[in-house]
Structures are given as C-alpha cells and as structure tokens.
Structure 1
Amino acid sequence: MRALLLTLLVTCLPATAAELTIETPNGAHAWTTADLLAHPARTEIDIPQDVSYKRAMHYQAVPLATLLTGLKPDDTLQAVALDGFAAELQAAPLLAAQGARAWLAIEDPAHPWPPLGDEKPSAGPFYLVWTDPAAGRIVPEQWPFQIARLRYLAPIAQRFPALLPAADASPAVREGFLAFQKNCLACHRLNGAGDAAFGPDLNLPYSPTEYFADDFLGRYIRDPQSLRRWPQAKMPAFSREILDDDTLHHLIDYLRHMAKRKA
C-alpha cells in the first residue's frame, strides 16, 4: 500500500480559534482558523438547506479539494467527529470541481455559528458542507461537523472483513453492502466491525431484520420518529431523494443476509 497519511487534527484554543494540521506525502502544514480565513481560495457560500441546521446558512469556506493535495479519486477518507461519528468518504466527490462540491466551512471566533440545539455546541470549528448536493446524491452522513480528524484509509475489505457478504451473495445483497457503507457505517458497526461509536451494532446481538416485522424496518429507516419517538433520538430520516426504494430494499437484503453471518 502506498504510504499516505492525511490527518486533520482540530485543537480548540480557548476563546480564540482552532488549528488544522494536514499531512500528505508532500509534507505537513498547520492551518489556524485565521490562516484559513485568509486563504486565497476562501469565499462566502450560501447553503439553502443545511443538513445539520435544517435551514439556510451562510459560511466562509475553502474548497476542500485545495487542502487535499496528493489524493486520487479512488482513495477513501474518514472524517472522525468529536462525538464519535465516523464518516467514510470517497475522495472522488470531495475532489470534484463541478456539480456537487465539497467545502470546508470555517467558524470565525468573532462571529460564531449558532448552536445545533438546546445545550449543544455549534457545528464548528470545521464543518464539511456541499453546494448542489443533489447533483452528486450526497447523503446526510457526508456532512460531518465538528470534524476532529480526516484520514486516508485502506480499502474496507482489508480493514473490516466481518462486514463482507458471502462470496456467493446475490447482486442485490452486494448493492445493499454499498448502501450500508455510504449510509450506515458512519454511525453503526456490524459484527463489531467499524470505527463509529455513535449508534448500536446492526448485527450483534440481533439484526433489526430479526425484530422488525413485515415492512416496519423499511418504515423505520424512512422515518424513525414515526415508530420510535424520544427526545434523545439521533437517527435521521432517509427520504427517497437520499435512498430510493430499490436501494432501501437492497440494504435490507444485505442486513438480512448478514443476520446469518454473525461474528
């Protein structure tokens, strides 16, 4: 495996700013908030429907691709947030200059962002946001906030073989595995495999396909609050614009398949 380490460390400085350190094969560079706000590619962007704030937001931001020198489209990155959320991100959409475009939003200490909710912090100091996300079918898990680290990853088959379907699995199950990586792995582990520490394991001790009857699992994924409502609920709804019906069925096929492959 070619040597590549890209680490983004966020260190909050009291009442001032944060520091962003990026390491690539070209060397390491530490960016303070002030450095990023003065970056020549820094601009102001409007996000009509911010995923985390659920309303229009205005940010000072830098195109993320300008900070990811040395990466290739088929590489995989992982954004690890301060709360344990760990989003697997394919590099190709992060590097794209057309269509859906990734931006590193930078919280200015002089003008802090609003909190995400009662007794919650803001999405800062660094937040991955997208312009024209529909063009790339960008899902909520690709909007990590409070980013603590961004690192290069080996292929998932090498890191977590316990997630893999059987060699003779159907095409639908294999499509479901891809959907699981994109939509679920940021929050959940399966068979104990994964880096997230946000949601429960989806196979141990039981798969949700074993305790949701009939079509209730699909309904739960579509709108969790319609079946289980409590103040601490964190799972987002997956609309058809994010997860179409066929993909949802394939995801459930994968979970049902993996229920027979418990670690």
Structure 2
Amino acid sequence: MFKRALALASLMLACASSMAASLTINVGGERSLTADQLLARPDAAIIRVPNDVTFHRSMTYRAVPLRALLGITELPAGKELQVTATDGFVTHFSAKLLFGDAKKRAEPWLAIEPADDPWPQVPGSGDVGPFYVVWIDPAASGVTSEQWPFKVDAIRIAPTLAARFPQIAVDKSVPANSPIRRGMTVFTTQCMVCHKLNGAGDASVGPDLNRPHNPTEYFQPWALKGYIRDPKSIRAWADMKMPGFDKNAISDSDLDAVIAYLGYMAKRKK
C-alpha cells in the first residue's frame, strides 16, 4: 500500500511539474506559454506520428503546429531557429527546413505532454516532456534524428552556427566536393546538438570533440566507427548518455565524411 501511495504521489508531482513548466519563444518578441495555454489554442490537435524517433514506434500526441505557433513565414538571412532543452541539448532548424517548398515538406509540431496522459519514460532520458518537437513526413525535408528535440524549454531565432563560430569552418582551399565539407554539415546537424568543437557551440551534454584531443587521435578508425554506431560495443558505463547512430540516422558515406572532418579539425585546434 505504501509503495502504491508513493508511486501515485510521484505521478501527481510529475504531472504538476509538467503543467507548471513554460516554453519561451522569441522570434521577434519574447513570450512564455504554459502547457495549459498551448493545449487551449484553437489549432491544438491530436496527431499520430509513425516511427517516432524517440519512442521507436507509432505515437499519438496532443500538439500544435510549430509554424503557426511561431507566427512567422520566413527567417532573416543568416539566421536559423534554435531549439534548446533542459538537459543541455541544442538543435537548429534552417530556413529551408522550416519554410521550404510548401507543396512537399515535412510538418513540424510541438507535442505537449498532458497531465492526464503522461508519456512513457525513455531509458537514459526519463521523462522527455513536457514539450517535444515531432515531425509528420520527416523524409520529405530530410529531417535528421537529432532534429526531434524533447524536454524543450526555449525556441528562438539565432545566427547560424557557421556565422557565430568561425573556428568550426573548413578552409577555402578544401575542394567543394570534398567529404570534409559534407562532414562538417553532418557534424553540425547530428553532433553539435550535444558536443562543442574548438569551444564552439551551445550544447553542454557531451565533451568538446577537438580539445584537448580529437577522437581520431585516440581511436583507431574501426573503433571510432563502431563507437558512433553503437557506443556500448566499445565502452560502457552506468551513466552513459550517448546514443548509437544507425544507418538511418547517419549513412555509411556520411559517417566516413564526419570522420574525415574530425581528422581535418584535429590539425586545426583553436
């Protein structure tokens, strides 16, 4: 009986915390919205998301369309949408991703965890609410696995990573078709959501991947690829947070490009 009461009390506390949480949005004027306020919007709907990236199955959410919530139809030149989470995760949506071809594009939604129907816990992450950006038809715009941020606490317009952090850039002498350039693109989308490089970046989940040492300096190539694909196959510990990136998240060619970019940056520590 005591355990049941304790579990009920914990659930009630989690629900109260979820509904008390607020989301900060700054796309031309800062505002703060609670879960109750978001769910009360006239465009709030029940949506079904097949193959949800976080839960690895179909999920049903109460959500609001992200574009309508933002209230804008474009981003200023040289800007992108930055989405931050309470666990230190930071991702970015480009203008093309958000406002590309309206006839065929992925549709982003902000899912809101309701107090009366909390989402399942996720191993290693716990409660991923109360706010989670999900996508309908993500393949239409090439949405990556790291562009499904949960535990979201703020959404704002920010300069692009390349504009803010020149220390991650590839030199002009590198050919346009070099895998190093492709590697930088994949790295900024898939890796800088958790890591910094040369001190650059906003995320704080994982360590800097170039200072003091670059992974290419202490991993053999096969081991580095194995670690990115399945971290626990190389080393594991109780509080390990890094997920594996299968071929759906990063293709073999993109993985080779990321490693080429890391090897290049190992010689460019700033």
SS in 2 for 1:215: helix
Q: CA RMSD in A?
A: 2.3
Q: Distance in 1 between matches of 2:258 and 2:150?
A: 25
- Displacement of 1:30: 4.1
Q: Retained in 2: the 8 A contact 1:192–1:204?
A: yes
Residue 58 to residue 214, structure 1, CA distance change in 2 (3 Å): same
- Displacement of 1:228: 1.9
Residue 250 to residue 31, structure 1, CA distance change in 2 (3 Å): same
Residue 16 to residue 136, structure 1, CA distance change in 2 (3 Å): closer
Measured against aligned partners, the alpha-carbon deviations of 1:19-67 in whole angstroms (never above 9, x if no partner) come to: 3343333x45443322221222211112232222233321101111111
Matches within 5 A, 1:181-220: 181-220=188-227
Gaps of 5+ in 1: 1-11
Q: Retained in 1: the 8 A contact 2:18–2:130?
A: no
- 2:27 maps to 24
- Displacement of 1:232: 2.1
Match of 1:165 among 164, 170, 175: 170
Match of 1:155 among 155, 160, 164: 160
What is the percentage of aligned positions where both structures have the same residue? 44
Q: Distance in 2 between matches of 1:138 and 1:225?
A: 26
Q: Does 1:175 align with 2:177?
A: no
- Displacement of 1:166: 2.0
- 1:59 maps to 61
- 2:111 maps to 105
Match of 1:44 among 25, 43, 46: 46
- 1:123 maps to 128
Matches within 5 A, 1:69-88: 69-72=71-74, 75-88=79-92
Measured against aligned partners, the alpha-carbon deviations of 1:154-199 in whole angstroms (never above 9, x if no partner) come to: 1323311111122212322111111111110100101111111001
- Displacement of 1:130: 1.3
What amino acid is the match of 2:119?
Answer: W
Measured against aligned partners, the alpha-carbon deviations of 1:103-157 in whole angstroms (never above 9, x if no partner) come to: 1001112322232247x64211111111222333322210111111111111323
Measured against aligned partners, the alpha-carbon deviations of 1:227-259 in whole angstroms (never above 9, x if no partner) come to: 223332222222222222221111111100000
More helix by share: 2
Q: Does 1:230 align with 2:237?
A: yes
Measured against aligned partners, the alpha-carbon deviations of 1:191-222 in whole angstroms (never above 9, x if no partner) come to: 11111100111111111111111322122212
Residue 16 to residue 186, structure 1, CA distance change in 2 (3 Å): closer
Q: Distance in 2 between matches of 1:128 and 1:15?
A: 16
Q: After superposing the two structures, state which structure 1 stretch, 191-200 or 127-136, moved more.
A: 127-136
Q: Would you say how many aligned residue pairs link Structure 1 and Structure 2?
A: 250
Q: Distance in 2 between matches of 1:135 and 1:231?
A: 37
